[in-house]
Amino acid sequence: MRFYYHPSPNPAKVALFLEEAGLSYELIPVDTGRGEQHLPDYIAINPNAKTPALLDGDAVLFDSSAILLYLAQKTGRFLGSDTDQTRAQMYSWLMFVASGIGPFSGQLVHFRYFAPEPKDYALNRYEFEAWRHWRILEARLSQMPYMLGDEYSLVDMAVWGWARAVPFVLGEHAWDELPNVKRLLDEISARPAAQRVEALKTQYSFKSDIDDETRKALFPHLN
């Protein structure tokens, strides 16, 4: 397997699954701050010009949730119990993270830190929606140890990828309102697989400063 990686929330989910499942893979860094996601060779793999992506033989995958499902079905691991009820919950919560937590958190980050003025309306909307989605996860995790009940699954991995960024997304006091999300984050972060994932970002040099090159790569609509 060839895993195209950047140290951001969505690739982290996939990296965690790969490490938890003990799968052998070649990590290929994609420095999005330098615009490497827009290079023709990468566009041929992921036409959406985002990370992550995965090549597994002839299988070409992009979108982190699609990759998680592919790997879980391939290995038969971290899907939750094989019942209609649990599988329905697995699909529902995985898509909730994919369509709600990720996009609204990402848009809040954009408008809070990077968007030009005027931005009050957009910032208010995305802050409201990001908090609304995270509070739904908090309510779920107040009732059970993991997103699917008593069993650690790919949904928890998806939550972990974004939960690592909660203070940056929502503010440094966000954990006061999300104690059960924090509990899950801390438990997963203590796992050896998660520690190996965190170590990945130190093995490569990724651009972190926001200059004209980075703005052009990340925000082409402003160019």
Per-residue pLDDT of the chain (223 residues; tens, 9 = 90+): 999 999 999 999 999 999 999 999 999 999 999 999 999 999 999 999 999 999 999 999 999 999 999 999 999 999 999 999 999 999 999 999 999 999 999 999 999 999 989 999 999 999 999 999 999 999 999 999 999 999 999 999 999 999 999 999 999 999 999 999 999 999 999 999 999 999 998 898 888 877 778 877 787 776 6
Amino acid at 171: G
Helices (H) and strands (E) in the chain, counts: 11, 4
Q: What is the CATH number of domain 84-190?
A: 1.20.1050.10
pLDDT value of position 212: 76
pLDDT value of position 208: 82
List where CATH 1.20.1050.10 sits in the chain: 84-190
List where CATH 3.40.30.10 sits in the chain: 2-77+197-222
Cβ atoms of 5 and 28 within 8 Å: the answer is: yes
122 burial type by CB count under 10 A (0-12 exposed, 13-18 middle, 19+ buried): middle
Which residues of the chain form beta strands (DSSP E)?
A: 2-5, 26-29, 53-56, 59-62
pLDDT value of position 222: 67
CATH architecture of 2-77+197-222: 3-Layer(aba) Sandwich (3.40)
Q: Which long-range contacts (CB under 8 A, 24 or more apart) does 148-152 make?
A: 148/80, 148/81, 148/86, 148/89, 148/90, 148/93, 149/80, 149/86, 151/80, 151/81, 152/78, 152/188
pLDDT value of position 67: 98
- Rounded Cα gap, residues 217 and 223, in angstroms: 9
Predicted structure pTM score: 0.94
pLDDT value of position 216: 75
- Rounded Cα gap, residues 29 and 169, in angstroms: 24
